[in-house]
Structure formats: C-alpha cells, structure tokens
Amino acid sequence: MDQLAAFLAAHDGAITSAEARRLGLGPNDLRRLSSRGRLRRVGRGAYVQPSTDLTTDATRTVVAMLRGRTEVAASHQSGALLWRLPVLSGALTRVHLSRTAGTAATRSHGGLTVHACPARRDAFGLVGRHPVVTPALAVVGTAVEAGADAGICAGDAALRAGLATREAMLSWVESMRHRPHLSTARHVVAQVSPTAESAAESKARLRLLALGYRVIPQFVVDEESGAFVARVDFLLPDLGVVVEVDGAVKYAGAEGRAALVREKCREDAIRRLGYGVARLVWSDLDDLERMRSIVERARGLGTRSLVRSTEAVAAHRRRTGATWDGLLLHSYAAVAPRP
C-alpha cells in the first residue's frame, strides 16, 4: 500500500492539500491523481477518495471540508451523516457546516453552506476527531434544510439509537423561533418514533398515516395459543393487514436462497392466521395511490375477522403499554427476534 492509500485508509477517505504536502504531493500531483480518478476535488484544498456509495462519498466530502477549516462543525444533514443517521439521497447534494464561534451570518458558495453559530453553548460535540453539532440539533437542522421526510428518517434513527430525545429536539426548535421552515421541524419532532428500524420504515409510516390508516408499528403476531410467530413492520388493525417494507436484501447464493425460504415460511405463517400481507419497496413510497392499491389488495386476500384483530391489538397493548395518538399506536413490541 502506497503512502496516499495508507493515509486515506486511516483518515476517513479524505485529504487536504496541506496534508498532501506532508506526504510529498504538490498541486501537480493532486491534479494528476484527480484526473486518474484516485482523488476527487470537493472544495478548495479538499479531496476525497471517490466512492460509488452515495452516503460514503458524502461523508468523505463533509470530513474533507471540515479538515480544511477552523472554528466550524458539521451541521444539519452533514452532521447527521457523521452521527451515522440515515440521510435521504436528495439531501446529500450540499455540505452544511456551522460556525462554532463569532457572529458572522450564514454564507453559501457552490456546494457549501456555512451557517451562523448557534446561540447556545451546548450545540457541539465530537464524532471521533470531527467537530459536529449534537444529534438533536442535526435532526432539527435536517428538517429545516431538507424537509419532513429527511428529518423524520434521521430523527427516528436518533431516537432508536439513544442519541437524542424528543425533548432535546423540541428544545432546539423552541430556541430557533422566527427561523424559516421551523413549522416543518416542529412537525418532525411531533412525528418521530423509535420504532422504525430503517429509513424505509420511517417513510412508510408517514405515508400510511397520510392515507388515513390506523397504524401499529413493530407488531408481534402470535398464534391463538400465544406462541410467537413473527414481528412485523406494521399492522393496520382495522383491515387485518400486515405491511412489510422490503429493504435491499439480495437473495443470491446459498445464504440468499435460505433467507428467501425463511421469509416465505414466515409470510405463510402470517397468512394462515388470516392476515393479508402487503409488501412495499422503496419506489412505492412516493406513490400514495399505488400504496393504497397494494394495501387494499392485501385486505381482499385476508380472512381475519375484526373481532380477532381487536383481541390481538388488546393483547399487544397489554404487553407493551402502548397508547393511541391519533392514528398511530405508539408502541415498542416486546423484544423478540424475527425468525
């Protein structure tokens, strides 16, 4: 491994021109490495090792831009990236930094926005050696800059990982009065839930609620005897429909085929109890009418009576202490592995 490769491996895939000089690489070397595709210039004096993974590439870009500046921290969705919170691809096109001192106003140039310093001392922390705003502030900033979907995906993950609380997020919203788009951040804080296990589940929950369904996340399906069958992404109790959101699981090779067989057996067991099963993929989540069609088709295939569904929901509430908040049953299913 050459010096550059070793440096990039040890420094998050990013390098500044000053760091390159210490490796004996001058401006001409950096231009040559960029033309050959080994590096990509992302800003003045900032370079990254290119990656085909959007999240990896965006994270390296944030790190490179940070290392070339002083008195700044990663913020908004750039801060969320460093906290390893999910950030929707549409929100990855710009780097967001916040000043850690001073009174200078927000400035944008090219693909970089440097925001004014937050007016609170508890705004900043570290991820490794990188300065970053706190997770709660990163979630609120993501909502303000990138919208409700991006904010809720990041906020759900922050709650689930124990990185932030709803109260901390709300505190930041209250301290930002009169900022643009603050109503979006307030909506996000009201809607975040630790039950989502992925950004796809976060987005699916929002869409199911928008369609007017009552929704129970992380519902435990049991046999009539009480024997565990499965924990599912969502139950729509008024329809007797289980909703599963398929991620990027690949059923290739022997392990993939075995996983496919297990998933088929799991779904068959759910159907035998009379539930309809609606399966959604990421592309479905931006088409409400398609989602409604998939759910209603699953409803037509289900045979579970409303009485039996009501009894199952009552048992779930007793087990979890869940309460209804509008259309959403705030719950955390009893910790049980997915078979």
What confidence tens digit (pLDDT) does each residue in 210-223 have? Answer: 999 999 999 989 88
53 and 162 part of one domain: yes
At residue 167, the 3 state secondary structure works out as helix
What is the C-alpha R_g of the chain?
23
In a domain, 335, yes or no: no
Q: What is the CATH number of the domain that holds 237?
A: 3.40.960.10
Last residue of a domain, one of 169, 191, 213: 191
pTM, two decimals, is: 0.88
* pLDDT attached to residue 328: 77
171 and 212 part of one domain: no
* pLDDT attached to residue 119: 84
39 and 186 part of one domain: yes
* pLDDT attached to residue 252: 54
Query: What whole-number distance in Å separates Cα of residue 198 and Cα of residue 217?
Result: 12
Strands 276-280 and 241-245 turn out to be parallel
Taking residues 231-242, report their average pLDDT.
Answer: 94
Share of the chain above pLDDT 70, in %: 93
Provide the domain count of the chain: 2
Distances in whole angstroms, Cα of residue 339 to Cα of each of 18, 216, 232, 260, 269? 52, 20, 11, 12, 11
Please state the separation of Cα 178 from the chain's center in Å. 27
In a domain, 339, yes or no: no
Share of the chain above pLDDT 90, in %: 73
144 and 264 part of one domain: no
| pLDDT exceeds 90 at position 226 | no
Query: What whole-number distance in Å separates Cα of residue 314 and Cα of residue 229?
Result: 17
* pLDDT attached to residue 256: 60
In a domain, 178, yes or no: yes
* pLDDT attached to residue 14: 97
272 and 315 part of one domain: yes
* pLDDT attached to residue 46: 95
Distances in whole angstroms, Cα of residue 270 to Cα of each of 58, 275, 316? 40, 6, 16
**Please, which residues bridge with residue 108 across strands?**
113
Last residue of a domain, one of 191, 226, 252: 191
What confidence tens digit (pLDDT) does each residue in 120-168 have? Answer: 989 999 999 999 999 999 999 999 999 999 999 999 999 999 999 999 9
64 and 129 part of one domain: yes
324 and 187 part of one domain: no
Confidence band of 85 (pLDDT split at 50, 70, 90):
very high
CB 195 within 8 A of CB 202: no
319 and 268 part of one domain: yes
Least confident window among 66-80, 158-172, 241-255: 241-255
* pLDDT attached to residue 323: 78
Domain residues for the domain of 115 are 3-191
* pLDDT attached to residue 247: 67
Q: Which of 19-23, 245-249, 325-329 has the highest mean pLDDT?
A: 19-23
157 and 232 part of one domain: no
Query: What whole-number distance in Å separates Cα of residue 313 and Cα of residue 269?
Result: 18
271 and 316 part of one domain: yes
257 and 136 part of one domain: no
* pLDDT attached to residue 309: 79
Last residue of a domain, one of 158, 191, 224: 191
Confidence band of 335 (pLDDT split at 50, 70, 90):
very low
* pLDDT attached to residue 124: 97
What confidence tens digit (pLDDT) does each residue in 96-119 have? Answer: 999 999 989 999 988 999 999 998
At residue 113, the 3 state secondary structure works out as strand
* pLDDT attached to residue 149: 96
What confidence tens digit (pLDDT) does each residue in 269-287 have? Answer: 899 999 999 999 999 999 9
163 and 206 part of one domain: no
Residue 100 CB-density burial (10 A; 0-12 exposed, 13-18 middle, 19+ buried): middle
In a domain, 95, yes or no: yes
